[in-house]
Amino acid sequence: MHHTRPHTRTTPSSKTAGNADLGDASYCSSKRSFELNHIHHVHIFASDLTKSIEFYQKAFGGEVVLDATVAGARNVFMRIGKGRLHFYDQPPKYPGRGSIHHFGIQTDDLEEGYAKPEHMGVPFTKGITDLGYMEYVMVPAPDNILIEYFEVDKEKIPPELSEYFEW
């Protein structure tokens, strides 16, 4: 497996929600917890729905949980690990990446996850990048979707990021 190092090391900003200058300090001191807020899914267009479903199933172990007409179009809902990906059965409205740049899929075995699409013939432009506490590879998918496939090292992650990722 070929690992590449980024030209500059990415480090967490010292301006986190806990110490950023947000003006009124009461803004951050709300007693209400928003633990239920999280990114639930990414919804993407699929010019060839069968091809897209097969790609995400084979490369990342996706499981279709719903295939139905919603808002006048066929929609497929897929679970990938703890995350969700939804598809519209229609081509992207805009050429290129449409309205998303990439989405992230966290894994606990980047090497295996990298090998699956590699065996499928996916044309990677570079190998795995190591940021110290996290390694990732950008995976090109159908319809010019770009996936950041990443693994976090629990022993090396900065304390301020330890609860951000799924364990």
**What CATH number is given to the structural domain containing 45?**
3.10.180.10
Structural domain includes residue 8: no
Number of domains in the chain: 1
Q: What is the phi/psi pair of residue 155, to 5°?
A: -80, -25
Q: What is the DSSP letter of 64?
A: E
Structural domain includes residue 6: no
44 close to 86: Cβ distance less than 8 angstroms: yes
Tokens of 81: 């690990």
Structural domain includes residue 120: yes
| Structural domain for 50, as ranges | 40-161
Of the pLDDT bands very low, low, confident and very high (cuts 50, 70, 90), residue 167 is low
Reduced to 3 states (helix: H, G, I; strand: E, B; else coil), residue 18 is: coil
**Model confidence pLDDT, tens digit, residues 113-158:** 888 899 999 999 989 999 898 999 989 998 888 888 888 898 998 8
The pTM score is 0.59
Structural domain includes residue 93: yes
Structural domain includes residue 2: no
Of the pLDDT bands very low, low, confident and very high (cuts 50, 70, 90), residue 72 is confident
Structural domain includes residue 129: yes
Strands (E), 11-133: 42-45, 63-70, 73-80, 83-88, 103-107, 128-130
